[in-house]
Structure 1
Amino acid sequence: MIDEKLARLRTHRNNIDRYRRLLKTRLTELEQQYIEQRLSEEQSALERLAASTFPLTFQAPEQHSRRPEPPISSAA
């Protein structure tokens, strides 16, 4: 299952790279719009798949109620 998802991630990444290379070539306005749309779709698909494959959850550390320590005086 993870191998399939990694292969799909790789495919999306390769498609994104290909679309970026194509955008650097001479294109008609219609071709450029089409490729930009496909690039956007591939990037969204990659982000969704990456999020579902490698979900990250961050939890804030618990706050401990501590009394502040008194300042250190220099009078010795």
Structure 2
Amino acid sequence: MIDEKLAWLRAHRSKIHRYRPLLNTRLSDLEREFLLKRLSEAQCAIDALSATTFPFSLIESPPLSTESRVV
């Protein structure tokens, strides 16, 4: 299961890396809108997959006060 989620994350990341340089080229408004929409979709998919694949937070929690420690 985790291998499948990691594969999807890589696929979406590859899409983003493929689409971003195209934004620096000459594009019609319709083409630019298409790319921006696809970039947004890929980023949303990465965010959703990341939240379910890595459901932990890297934010440090505050230390316990001395009164609430169990001895």
- For this structure pair, what is the TM-score category when the shorter chain's length is used for normalisation? 0.7 to 0.9
Return structure 1 stretches of 4+ with deviation > 4 angstroms. Answer: none
| Identity rate, percent | 52
**Larger radius of gyration between Structure 1 and Structure 2:** 1
Aligned twin of 1:46: 46
Gaps of 5+ in 1: 66-76
The whole-number CA distance in structure 1 between the counterparts of 2:45 and 2:62 is 29
Give the alignment's TM-score, normalised by structure 2. Answer: 0.80
Secondary structure, counterpart of 1:14 in structure 2: helix
| RMSD, aligned α-carbons | 1.4
How much has 1:22 moved relative to structure 2? 1.4
Secondary structure, counterpart of 2:64 in structure 1: coil
Map 1:1-76 → 2, pairs under 5 A: 1-57=1-57, 58=59, 59-65=61-67
Aligned twin of 1:69: none
Secondary structure, counterpart of 1:43 in structure 2: helix
Q: Bigger relative contact order, structure 1 or 2, given CA contacts below 8 A and separation 6+?
A: 2
- For residues 13-66 of structure 1, what are the alpha-carbon distances to aligned partners after superposition, in whole Å with 9 as ceiling and x for unaligned? 00011110211211101110111111011111101101110111454321224x
Amino acid across the alignment from 1:45: A
Q: How many residues align?
A: 65
